[in-house]
Amino acid sequence: MSNIVDARGRSCPEPVVMTKQAIENFTEETLRVLVDSMVAVENIKRFAKNQGFQVDVSEGNEEYTLHIRK
């Protein structure tokens, strides 16, 4: 399975649902989630932290990459 979830162009709660599905099948060291909305960033961060993951966010060209790891 890929360690990248591309949720750009999707509105909440879909990015969170996609992230949840990826976390359930998580085998890599870091999961990267691509989004283009600050609302999605905040919702995914909250969800991942509640599941015990660490989350870092980088921003570029009006897009955000969340780096999620245990």
* 4-69 CATH: 3.30.110.40
The answer on pLDDT for 25 being more than 90 is no
- pTM for this structure? 0.91
3-state secondary structure 15-67: HHHHHHHHHHCCCCCCEEEEECCHHHHHHHHHHHHHCCCEEEEEEECCEEEEE
**Residue 45 is among the residues annotated as catalytic for this protein:** no
Q: Which is catalytic among the residues 10, 12, 34, 57?
A: 12
Which secondary-structure segment (H or E) carries 14?
Answer: helix 14-24
User: Using CA atoms, how far apart are residues 31 and 26, in angstroms rounded to an integer?
Assistant: 8
Please state the rounded mean pLDDT for residues 14-33: 91
The answer on pLDDT for 1 being more than 70 is no
User: Using CA atoms, how far apart are residues 12 and 15, in angstroms rounded to an integer?
Assistant: 6
